[in-house]
Amino acid sequence: KKEDINHFKVYQDAVVSYNELNNFCNSYHQKETALNLQNITYFELINRAKNILSEEIRSNKVFFTSSISTKNSIETDATRFIQCLVNVFKNAIENQVVMKRKWIEVLLVNDTLIIRNNGCLPSGVSSEDIFQKGMSVKDGTGEGLYFVKRELNKLGFDISIVIDDGVSYYLKKKQI
């Protein structure tokens, strides 16, 4: 049945996402691990991160869109990059706590991945402070975006935040 096939696909995606997250957690607790580089599309990276957060996206009623082509690929450590995306997506969802209509939009412009949402940073928090170790805007450890910045730098990316009609995270590939 079509319904059984859909449930099986969701199950398969969840198992893959769980395994990626578990592998990442194991590597995170080690001091330094070598990058496991592979060629992968931005589309695949975005979808895997979105699948990990599918329940949170659904329960928070976030409208998630992506115009990323299946043709744009990069050589990166997929597990690390996905974990960074998961963290940024979670922050994008949390930026929108008070919004009635919540959305996240993902774009790729040249070598920059842009993750936009219609939320805002808490009062008194600057776009520079947000990446500092120990900076938490909720009851967290303050490690999340600090970790993202550190890992993205290892992968050859810079990350910044622009606050305009919402919060936009810019993941820009460094030029070599």
pTM higher than 0.75, yes or no?
yes
Give the pLDDT confidence score for residue 6 in this predicted structure: 59
Rounded Cα distance between 163 and 87, Å, is 18
Q: Which two tokens stand for residue 139?
A: 């009851």
Strands (E), the chain: 37-41, 62-66, 73-77, 102-109, 112-117, 157-163, 167-173
Any idea what the Cα angle at residue 134 is, between residues 166 and 144, rounded to 5°?
Answer: 55
**pLDDT top residue among 144 and 125:** 144
- Stretch 33-40: mean pLDDT: 90
